[in-house]
Structure 1
């Protein structure tokens, strides 16, 4: 441990002593984060109708990861996990809106110490205690922050390598059609089987598509500016999402609809164009990978693994399991999951509760249309999933044969060996990461039928 600290200090000192030209040769890093975008919802990942020309071109220019996973399908805990390289329950902020302690070491802290300029522009969802781990924070709550992305790129210090965390508000709800160029028609929508194919659902999904198209435009502007500055070759750009789409059976869920993320990297200096990889990657692996590329020692607090070897050869792999968790996000919850290349096992500690989506999804036109159809007895068994209670304790899904996680295999005799193996893996992970279920869980903040804040919690957001 002492050797690592000495090594880091020496490296930082050397950076400060280097001539400006050499110092500037350090790689730059840009992470572009979508807010509530499912992994399949772009042309790059096979969606037939959503207009995402810039995301699609990014995939052609770099490497597309087909098996990249989040540690949780919940906004702020997911971002805290990415930035610390730790699982949500290890960050001190495992629930939505919870505050990371100042003692948590974020990626930007080690980059700053190594001479990097660091900036966060857009949605700020990392808490108040860690603001000093960025040089610049331009916070945005109204969805206009992407206008500052280009300005920040242009006004960055010229004599420093840089790290930019560009956090979009798209495609997060609430959708405002008057602010969106209507380029995705409801008639072109592909309705996932979890939702009924109605006019309300199609319009809701079309508005979601439109916000993805707006995000796509912003991503394209960033890449164009990087090219205009002549720094494309030496700039690592990563595009991903913090969790799945804000619809039932997606956001907050531990199935692929919730935790699988779009994940595309361009970095011409080290990454070949138009490549894909099926190697399992967790978002806790981003921190150590960037540190590895920048030749900066990886702190002992980091739980992830560098996937630099995968960038250099997409056939390489660094892990055979990923792990994820579901804690409070508007509603009481406690679930844990392990996924290998084929199967997902989920353990649910609160089977008495329904799998209610987050409050913004509950209040959505889609969910409200589903409520009416439920009351009329017109939903399929799969579409009833968000309303059903009690639920199972154990879930097992075959992600190859059943990509939408529609059939729970946990009680089928022929899958007991797989279930036992994955359950044991999950137990080991829980123990090794000191994952202890709280004696008292945070209660529901919103009504599960309407999405409105419960009267006893009216002061929560003040």
Structure 2
């Protein structure tokens, strides 16, 4: 389906790093400060059922940039050393396709993809090109300023703008609870003012224990999100100054859930249910929401459809979201899939998921193994305090987080926190069989190397 409108819009895709949906103002958090992201929602369409397909940074970004699941494009986990996963050489990526569609292409901020030659952005500054890049890689306003000339340089353009916030960084040694700093600087960056939060006022999500260490880390997390939001606002300001904001579709999303236990690296809801906002000034649905099921595999087909080149998305597994932009009440598809294989190279725990509006089946392929904890999460004040205090992760016992059955089935209407596993209920045997069949078919269609596990083990 071709995109609406006579003119091809500019397209800006903003990807945050580990920003969970529980920490966005327009998704209901009354404490965190996200006025610029909230503005996008007030002027655009907010998605209530948007999901990453894998809750690990590099793997998730590979899906965003190809429309192929990570196990199909072969970015099974993190691309940096020592993990060194990398995309298959034959894959055609979004920047290459957008250039073919006649767009100027630009990238700014975090890359986290390999090999770089498959991603031919016209504006492609090195991620760590200078000492200043390293010192200011958490300064989102600065990253926005570096795009000013690009967005003023002629239309149509495609900009892939990726913050490093609010990813974890390192523990604060000046704090008695040693919370992670989430990249928050000791002194504000030039021209910026850091916004700090009181740990007593943060909203502890129901998947975490309410401990002092958790609150201290959430306060740092909120501070990083506020800095990210200021960067988004600065970028919108440059689009306005260039006179192109009303000709530009802006997409906001996160690669995966927050860097807390039960979120990042898991396919429970906190790991995969994420913010997605699309502001398209050519459509009159300001402030609308949609409950349709969508995934990050849909993003590349959507961008190509908006660019007037939907035929270039033909090999992709996702679906264009343009019909939802035209009609947010469109119910969309019946189910979506997710797929996680690795995080770090030692973090092997392949999972395949099918999710409907009500039901979710998780197939833990390596269920006989303990679920691995990512290094930054293992060292976190949150995780260590949870273990030390013998606390649960919300209402979930830590042991059930680490040791999982082969199948988990959840009724998300009755059990949104995914605490009551119904997979062993004889009354649900038919549902498990049916949904497992959907997963097998999905694996066959997407050339999943783990497909053989159904018969091999």
Q: 1:381 to 1:131 in 2, by over 3 A?
A: closer
Q: 1:198 to 1:291 in 2, by over 3 A?
A: same
Is the contact made by 2:45 and 2:325 (CA closer than 8 Å) also made in structure 1?
A: yes
Query: Any stretches of 5+ residues in structure 2 without a counterpart?
Result: 1-5, 80-84, 129-133, 170-181, 189-193
Counterpart pick for 2:9 among 6, 22, 27: 27
**Deviation per residue, 1:224-263 (Å, 9 max, x gap):** 2212222122101000000000010000111211111100
Residue aligning to 2:138: 143
Partner Cα distance (1:51, 1:148) in 2? 20
Counterpart pick for 1:120 among 107, 119, 132: 107
Deviation at 1:131, TM superposition (A): 5.0
Deviation at 1:356, TM superposition (A): 3.4
Counterpart pick for 1:300 among 314, 333, 339: 314
Residue aligning to 1:435: 448
Deviation at 1:89, TM superposition (A): 0.7
Residue aligning to 1:323: 337
Q: How does 1:162-177 map to 2 (within 5 A)?
A: 162-174=157-169, 175-177=182-184
Residue aligning to 1:11: none
Q: Secondary structure of 2:224's partner?
A: helix
Residue 261 (structure 2) pairs with residue 221 (structure 1): no
**Deviation per residue, 1:351-386 (Å, 9 max, x gap):** 222333321111111011112123xxx547844336
Partner Cα distance (1:326, 1:132) in 2? 23
Q: Secondary structure of 2:245's partner?
A: coil
**Alignment TM-score, normalising by the size of structure 2:** 0.85
Residue 357 (structure 2) pairs with residue 341 (structure 1): yes
Deviates more, 1:163-172 or 1:111-120: 111-120
**Deviation per residue, 1:37-80 (Å, 9 max, x gap):** 11221111011211111111211110000011111011001001
Deviation at 1:431, TM superposition (A): 1.5
The alignment yields a C-alpha RMSD, in angstroms, of: 2.3
Residue aligning to 1:13: none
Partner Cα distance (1:315, 1:381) in 2? 34
Residue 386 (structure 2) pairs with residue 370 (structure 1): yes
Deviation at 1:439, TM superposition (A): 9.1
Q: Secondary structure of 2:383's partner?
A: helix
Deviates more, 1:81-90 or 1:190-199: 190-199
Deviation at 1:387, TM superposition (A): 6.8
Is the contact made by 1:355 and 1:387 (CA closer than 8 Å) also made in structure 2?
A: no
Residue aligning to 1:350: 366
Is the contact made by 1:355 and 1:386 (CA closer than 8 Å) also made in structure 2?
A: no
Residue aligning to 1:444: none
Residue 77 (structure 2) pairs with residue 63 (structure 1): no
Counterpart pick for 1:280 among 293, 297, 301: 293
Counterpart pick for 2:20 among 15, 35, 38: 38
Counterpart pick for 1:130 among 93, 117, 121: 117
Partner Cα distance (2:243, 2:394) in 1? 54
Partner Cα distance (1:386, 1:130) in 2? 43
Residue aligning to 1:99: 86
Comparing both chains, which one has the higher relative contact order based on Cα–Cα distances under 8 Å and sequence gaps of 6 or more? 2
Q: 1:356 to 1:370 in 2, by over 3 A?
A: farther
Q: 1:224 to 1:354 in 2, by over 3 A?
A: same
Q: Secondary structure of 2:78's partner?
A: coil
Partner Cα distance (2:119, 2:212) in 1? 47
Q: 1:386 to 1:225 in 2, by over 3 A?
A: farther
Q: Secondary structure of 1:254's partner?
A: coil
Deviation at 1:34, TM superposition (A): 0.6
Q: 1:182 to 1:157 in 2, by over 3 A?
A: closer
**Alignment TM-score, normalising by the size of structure 1:** 0.84
Partner Cα distance (1:284, 1:143) in 2? 27
Is the contact made by 2:17 and 2:165 (CA closer than 8 Å) also made in structure 1?
A: yes
Partner Cα distance (1:159, 1:390) in 2? 54
Is the contact made by 1:309 and 1:317 (CA closer than 8 Å) also made in structure 2?
A: no
Q: 1:104 to 1:192 in 2, by over 3 A?
A: same
**Deviation per residue, 1:323-371 (Å, 9 max, x gap):** 1111111212111101011111001122222333321111111011112
Residue 101 (structure 2) pairs with residue 87 (structure 1): no
Deviation at 1:211, TM superposition (A): 0.8
Is the contact made by 1:101 and 1:130 (CA closer than 8 Å) also made in structure 2?
A: no
Query: Any stretches of 5+ residues in structure 1 without a counterpart?
Result: 1-22, 441-462
Counterpart pick for 2:209 among 175, 196, 201: 196
Deviation at 1:132, TM superposition (A): 4.8
**Deviation per residue, 1:430-452 (Å, 9 max, x gap):** 12212122999xxxxxxxxxxxx
